[in-house]
Structure 1
Amino acid sequence: MLAAADQPFPSSVELVLRRYAPLIDARGARSVAFEAAVTAMAPATKAAITADLKCFLAWCKSRRPVATAVPVEPETLVHYLRWLAKGSDTRAPARPATLARRIASIARVHRMLGFGEKEPLATQAGMVRDTLKGIRRDKRQRQRQAAPLRLGEAMAEGQGAPEGVTVKALLASCGTDIIGLRDAALISLAYDAGLRVSELVGTEVADLRQVGDSSGRLEIGHSKTDQLGEGALAWLSGDTMARLSAWLLASGLSEGPVFRRINVLTSPPDPAGQRVVRHYIGAKSLTRQGVVAILRRRVLEAIDLGHVELEPGMEGDTVRGLSAHSFRVGLTQDLFAAGEDGSGIALALRWSSPTTALRYARELAVGNNAAARVLGRLRDSEAPTVARSTANQ
Structure 2
Amino acid sequence: MIDWRKALRRLDGAYSVHTLKAYQSDFGLFALWCRRKRVPALPAAVETLVAYLGAEGTRLKPATMKHRLLAIRKIHQLCRLVDPTVDTEVDLAMRRIRRSQPSRPRQALGLTADLCDALIAVCPNDLIGLRDKVLVTVGFDTLCRRGELVALSIGDFTRKDNGRYSVLVRRAKNDPEGAGRTAHLSTRTSQFVDEWLLAIGTDSGPLLRPVYRTKALALYLEPLTVSRVLKKLASLAETPAPPGSNVSGHSLRVGAAQQLVLDGHGILKIMRVGGWRSMNVVARYVENVDVDVWQ
With normalisation by structure 2, the TM-score equals: 0.91
Could you say if the C-alpha distance between residues 253 and 319 of structure 1 is closer, same or farther in structure 2, counting changes exceeding 3 Å? farther
Determine the structure 1 residue equivalent to 2:18.
44
Determine the structure 2 residue equivalent to 1:89.
none
Does residue 168 of the first structure (1) align with residue 117 of the second (2)? yes
The amino acid across from 2:232 in the alignment is R
1:326 positional shift:
0.9
Determine the structure 2 residue equivalent to 1:163.
none
Determine the structure 2 residue equivalent to 1:295.
230
Determine the structure 2 residue equivalent to 1:122.
84
Q: Structure 1: 5+ residue runs without aligned partners? A: 1-13, 19-30, 87-92, 153-165, 265-278, 378-393
Determine the structure 2 residue equivalent to 1:17.
5
Q: Structure 2: 5+ residue runs without aligned partners? A: none
1:127 positional shift:
2.3
- Give the SS at the match of 2:171: coil
- What number of residue pairs does the alignment pair up? 294
1:38 positional shift:
4.6
1:42 positional shift:
2.1
Distance in 1 (CA, whole Å) between partners of 2:226 and 2:258 is 22
The structure, 1 or 2, with the larger RCO (C-alpha pairs under 8 Å, 6+ apart) is: 2
CA contact (8 A) 1:345 1:354 kept: no
Distance in 2 (CA, whole Å) between partners of 1:45 and 1:207 is 25
Determine the structure 1 residue equivalent to 2:44.
72
Determine the structure 2 residue equivalent to 1:213.
162
Could you say if the C-alpha distance between residues 309 and 342 of structure 1 is closer, same or farther in structure 2, counting changes exceeding 3 Å? closer
Could you say if the C-alpha distance between residues 347 and 286 of structure 1 is closer, same or farther in structure 2, counting changes exceeding 3 Å? same
The amino acid across from 2:190 in the alignment is M
Distance in 1 (CA, whole Å) between partners of 2:78 and 2:264 is 45
The amino acid across from 2:246 in the alignment is G
- Give the SS at the match of 1:319: coil
- Give the SS at the match of 1:328: helix
1:141 positional shift:
1.4
1:287 positional shift:
0.7
Deviations along 1:90-112, whole A, 9 cap, x unmatched?
A: xxx31111111111221122222
Determine the structure 1 residue equivalent to 2:32.
58
Which one has the largest radius of gyration?
1
Correspondent of 2:240 among 309, 330, 336: 309
Determine the structure 2 residue equivalent to 1:186.
135
- Give the SS at the match of 1:340: coil
Distance in 2 (CA, whole Å) between partners of 1:217 and 1:339 is 23
1:212 positional shift:
1.6
What percentage of residue pairs aligned between the two structures are identical?
28
Distance in 2 (CA, whole Å) between partners of 1:309 and 1:346 is 28
1:327 positional shift:
0.6
With normalisation by structure 1, the TM-score equals: 0.69
Distance in 1 (CA, whole Å) between partners of 2:140 and 2:210 is 20
Distance in 2 (CA, whole Å) between partners of 1:336 and 1:15 is 51
1:329 positional shift:
0.8
Determine the structure 1 residue equivalent to 2:268.
343
- Give the SS at the match of 2:66: helix
1:138 positional shift:
2.0
The amino acid across from 1:79 in the alignment is A
The amino acid across from 1:47 in the alignment is K
Could you say if the C-alpha distance between residues 16 and 320 of structure 1 is closer, same or farther in structure 2, counting changes exceeding 3 Å? farther
The amino acid across from 1:192 in the alignment is D
The amino acid across from 1:232 in the alignment is R
Distance in 1 (CA, whole Å) between partners of 2:197 and 2:260 is 29
Determine the structure 2 residue equivalent to 1:359.
284
CA contact (8 A) 2:4 2:79 kept: no
Deviations along 1:288-338, whole A, 9 cap, x unmatched?
A: 1222221111111113xxxx136xxx5xxx321011111111111111233
Distance in 2 (CA, whole Å) between partners of 1:258 and 1:40 is 26
- Give the SS at the match of 1:100: helix
Does residue 144 of the first structure (1) align with residue 118 of the second (2)? no
Does residue 231 of the first structure (1) align with residue 180 of the second (2)? yes
Deviations along 1:165-216, whole A, 9 cap, x unmatched?
A: x111101111322111111011000000001111111111111122122321
Deviations along 1:46-75, whole A, 9 cap, x unmatched?
A: 121111111111111111xx2121222222
Structure 1 segments of 4 or more deviating over 6 A? none
Determine the structure 1 residue equivalent to 2:152.
203
